[in-house]
Amino acid sequence: MKKLSMNEFYEIISEPIVLNELKIVQHTELPEVDDELSVSLRMRLKSHHSGWAGIFQKGIETEGNFNRTPGLFLFANNSRLHPRFTGSWNNNAGIEAVTDGLLLNKWYHITYTLSDHEKRMDIYINGVWTAFYAIENVQMHKVKFNE
């Protein structure tokens, strides 16, 4: 696994993809993450999905247990952002809903940041800090980055 230094950029997907096309990146192709990460993407929705839509997720759900750090999903029918991560105290931590939902046919630049050092997750939409999640028990709780 490739270990990146601070402030190094790693592009995983460079070509446009359609949301209903599953894009799988093998674990060995991803950089090692153990303290913080930032995921940026540019997206435009042509329609709202009738069910939950996954934008990105590292890890999988097995037998009802989540292992997804990071994870960004959209609510059904209105495309509200639903950012998630796995923590040592909660396997489905995150923000319940960011904004009223993404508008159709509008470009968005979305950035998801997660830091165990700072004990927080931040969401930016078009460069504007929009929402955050703070880990309250900072001495005991840790973000579980997928190994």
- Does domain 28-134 sit in CATH 2.60.120.200? yes
Residue 56 has pLDDT above 70, yes or no: yes
- Whole-prediction pTM: 0.82
Residue 133, judged by CB atoms within 10 A of its CB (0-12, 13-18, 19+), counts as buried
For the segment 51-64, the average pLDDT, to the nearest whole number, is 78
In this prediction, residue 9 carries a pLDDT of 58
Domain spans in the chain, listed from the N-terminal domain onward = 28-134
pLDDT of residue 26 exceeding 80? no
What was the pLDDT predicted at 125? 96
The pLDDT of residue 14 = 63
Q: So what's the pLDDT on residue 59?
A: 75
pLDDT exceeds 60 at position 58: yes
Range of lowest pLDDT (18-22, 56-60, 109-113, 122-126): 18-22
Which are the contacts of 69, defined by CB distance < 8 A and separation ≥ 6? Answer: 58, 59, 85, 86, 114, 143, 144, 145, 146
Q: What is the pLDDT of residues 113-128, one digit of tens each?
A: 999 999 999 999 999 9
The pLDDT of residue 116 is: 95
- Rounded to an integer, what distance in angstroms lies between the CA atom of residue 97 and that of residue 84? 10
pLDDT of residue 1: 44
Query: Helices in 18-134 by DSSP H: which ranges?
Result: none
What letter would DSSP give residue 27?
A: G
